[in-house]
Structure formats: structure tokens, C-alpha cells
Amino acid sequence: MGKTSTIRARIEPDLKGKAERIFQQLGLTTTQAITLFYKQVELKNE
């Protein structure tokens, strides 16, 4: 991966914790999960 950008977002702590536990079960970091979401958006809008 070449260049990177930083994303900052405010999210409810409870939602964040629940989502991160699911990501961990899937073997993903939060960064990887966000990247997957962005890729899906990109693919759906091509």
C-alpha cells in the first residue's frame, strides 16, 4: 500500500466496542474493516 490518509470520526462508545469485538473475531483490525467498507462503496458505484 502506498500513500495513506487519516480518518477521524466520532462514534458511540458502545457501538465502537461491539463492532471491534466482532472485527477481532473475524481477524480484522478496525482499519481493515473501514477499508473493506470503503472498497464496497467504491465497487458499488463504479
Q: What single DSSP character describes residue 26?
A: H
User: What DSSP letter does each residue of 14-36 carry, written as one string?
Assistant: HHHHHHHHHHHHHT--HHHHHHH
Ordered by start, the domain boundaries in the chain are 13-44
Note the pTM of the prediction, 2 decimals.
0.82
pLDDT in tens, 33-44: 999 999 999 999
pLDDT in tens, 1-39: 578 899 999 999 999 999 999 999 999 999 999 999 999
